[in-house]
């Protein structure tokens, strides 16, 4: 004969246990799946915007939609050698050894022929701008103390070269013009004067240079004859 408990006891116990299990499962389900039950972001703090620590720059995610057009661009100092960095202004100083007029004269070696003497003169534009030339050099004979001698200077042809006459020339920087200076160093040429140097300038009133005359046969002078400044050497 089987023994049973009070009526309904077995079913009630099973029902209580099932209720407890269901409640536990429900509690676990709610705690583990809250993301599905709560709308995203509701009840949670918003993300904190990040700020770049680089000086002069602001990270883009801190800007509002209307701020992009007004935000100043980052400032970058020009690097060394940058093509856009300021360059020093060119110096306007006159080149070393170049007169303020821009024209410098020079004298070559004295050449001799049958008692006649000649020396080539040059005029070079040592400046930075074109130099207009039209005429003859300025030449004076000097004694040993640098004082002018009574030696006549004639523009024109001589035994040593033909003078085609003056012609206006626009001398560009670095270009050179030529002239020929000649005289007679024999007693047949008349009264001779012994000179120690020649003072030569591109033109009267411009800065002159002094060139010594070396050799007794060269220092004896009568009249000086010179050709006009020309691009080609006088013949």
Separation between Cα atoms, residue 8 and residue 28, nearest integer Å: 30
**Domain 103-226: which CATH number of 1.10.10, 1.20.1630, 2.60.40, 3.40.1710:** 2.60.40
- Residue-wise pLDDT tens digits, 74-86: 444 444 444 333 3
Run of H or E residues at 10: helix 9-32
Rg of the chain in Å (alpha carbons): 53
- Looking at 43-52, 189-198, 226-235, which range is the least confident one? 43-52
pTM score over 0.75? no
- Could you tell me which of 181, 210, 185, 186 has the C-alpha nearest to residue 198? 210
What is the share, in percent, of the chain residues with pLDDT greater than 90? Answer: 48
- Residue-wise pLDDT tens digits, 169-182: 999 999 999 999 99
- Residue-wise pLDDT tens digits, 119-160: 999 999 999 999 899 999 999 999 999 999 999 999 999 999
The residues facing 184 across adjacent strands are: 116
pLDDT at 199: 98
| Helix and strand element counts for the chain (H, E) | 3, 12
Residues 6 or more apart from 203 whose CB is under 8 A from it? 133, 135, 136, 137, 138
- Could you tell me which of 50, 70, 69 has the C-alpha nearest to residue 60? 50
How many of the other CB atoms lie within 10 Å of CB of 99?
18
User: Residue ranges per domain, the chain?
Assistant: 103-226
């Amino acid at each position: 004969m089987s023994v049973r408990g009070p009526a309904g006891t077995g079913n009630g116990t099973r029902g209580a246990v099932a209720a407890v299990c269901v409640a536990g499962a429900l509690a676990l389900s709610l705690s583990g799946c809250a993301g599905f039950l709560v709308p995203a972001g509701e009840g949670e703090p918003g993300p904190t915007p990040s700020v770049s620590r680089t000086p002069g720059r602001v990270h883009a995610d801190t800007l509002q939609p209307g701020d992009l057009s007004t935000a100043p661009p980052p400032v970058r100092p020009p690097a060394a050698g940058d093509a856009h960095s300021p360059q020093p202004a060119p110096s306007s100083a006159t080149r070393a050894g170049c007169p303020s007029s821009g024209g410098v004269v020079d004298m070559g070696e004295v050449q001799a022929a049958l008692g006649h003497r000649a020396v080539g003169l040059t005029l070079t534009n040592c400046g930075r701008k074109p130099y207009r030339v039209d005429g003859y050099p300025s030449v004076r004979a000097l004694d040993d103390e640098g004082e002018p001698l009574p030696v006549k200077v004639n523009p024109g042809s001589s035994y040593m070269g033909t003078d085609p006459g003056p012609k206006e020339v626009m001398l560009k920087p670095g270009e050179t013009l030529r002239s020929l200076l000649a005289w007679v160093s024999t007693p047949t040429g008349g009264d001779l004067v012994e000179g120690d140097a020649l003072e030569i300038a591109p033109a009267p009133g411009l800065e002159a240079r002094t060139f010594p005359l070396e050799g007794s046969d060269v220092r004896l002078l009568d009249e000086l004859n010179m050709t006009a400044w020309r691009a080609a050497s006088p013949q």
